[in-house]
Amino acid sequence: MEKYFKLYSSEIPPKSLSHNIFSIIGYKEPALTKGLSFLIYKSKKFCNGFLKLINKKLKERGLNKIGQVEILKVLSEQYPNFSKQKIRRDITLKLNPEKMNNSLIVIEAKNPKLSLKNLSKVEDQLLEYLSEDHYSDVSNFNRKIGIFLTNIEEIYRKRRDIDLISITWKEIFNLLERYKEKDEYINMFYKHLLEGEMMQFFKKEIFSPPAGKTIDKIRELNIYCCQYDRTIKKSLYLMPRIPLTKSKKDSDFFNTDVAVGVFEELYPIIDTFAVDKNTVNEIENKEIKEKVEKWYEDEEFKSGQVFILGDKLPFDTPKRTKKQNNSYQTYYSFDEIWSKIVKRDK
């Protein structure tokens, strides 16, 4: 017998083809977070991969990895039982709850399209979820780990009692891609994310910020720093845009009455993370730390987003915008930058 399931809901994208258990849960955050918690519970393959990802992040921060997990309890949307504050944990993982090597992991997930400029508020939020003042289960665990799930990796100050790390939605997406052919639930959630508006976030490969004042720093330091902004999308390449007056090229192609922007090079984005004035010293790579400090040496630094760049890929022939070069930041796919004139992405 062939079976077909269709769900009618205003949340479902009009072109959606795959209705399943995750469609019932929903398409918006926090519904996607609920779906993720269900997948951790239901799929052994994804659960193991996710725990390995957590261990990788802990190791990168110089923290002890999680040991063997014999029992895992997954809780979604857990409210406090020791206070009346209107807070809730998105995902709670209780590892080996009855044993000495137990761990309490709390995951706070954010829609990557949202803007949040104050890193300390995020840290405070995670600490609330791991506070005995709000949740009675905290005192039952020997190790507490807070994870922030968002669109870019963030650096937190190391603490004595709680380990804080971040995981990106892109890393979750990569994990789904790796196992989607081997597990029915992973494949369903993968398709579910692709159809939701949140993952449209990754469709443009090239980030193009205005760089009239920073192009010399980019070329000297091989990094790019800007104001911390969660609306900046995860991209594979950075293509700085400079004013026509900064360009060294002189040809008829640039003889225009419009003050166009010029593109002379492309950089692979090796890594990106966020720091504030309190966490710069937590950057473990000494060379990167020195570059970030040099970038901000002539300006007041509160919070910033850092892009570690690969080798410069110069264009044989520079490109320019069709319209005036204003201080917007935009995104392109590769097929949009092949011609000499690059149209601004609306």
Strand, helix or coil at 184?
helix
Domain ranges of the chain: 21-200, 203-342
Long-range contacts of 168-177 (CB under 8 A, 24+ apart): 168/234, 169/112, 169/198, 169/199, 169/201, 169/234, 170/202, 170/234, 171/53, 172/36, 172/50, 173/199, 173/202, 175/46, 175/49, 175/50, 175/53, 176/46
Contact 72, 94 (CB under 8 A): yes
For tokens 């692709």, what's the residue? 194
Tokens of 78: 């857990």
Give per-residue pLDDT as tens, 126-148: 899 999 999 999 999 999 999 99
Give per-residue pLDDT as tens, 41-78: 999 999 999 999 999 999 988 899 999 999 999 999 99
Q: What is the value of pTM for the model shown?
A: 0.62
Determine the pLDDT at residue 15: 46
Sign of the Cα torsion 173, 124, 56, 308 reads positive
CATH for the stretch 203-342 = 2.30.130
Determine the pLDDT at residue 287: 92
Give per-residue pLDDT as tens, 108-126: 987 655 545 555 577 888 8
Cα 171 to Cα 56: distance, rounded to the nearest angstrom:
12
Q: How far is CA 202 from CA 24, 36, 82, 152, 236, in A?
A: 24, 18, 40, 12, 9
Cα 79 to Cα 267: distance, rounded to the nearest angstrom:
44
Determine the pLDDT at residue 276: 82
Which residues in the chain show pLDDT less than 50?
Answer: 14-17, 115, 345-346
| 306 Cβ contact partners less than 8 Å away, ≥ 6 residues apart | 223, 224, 225, 272, 273, 274, 275, 288, 292
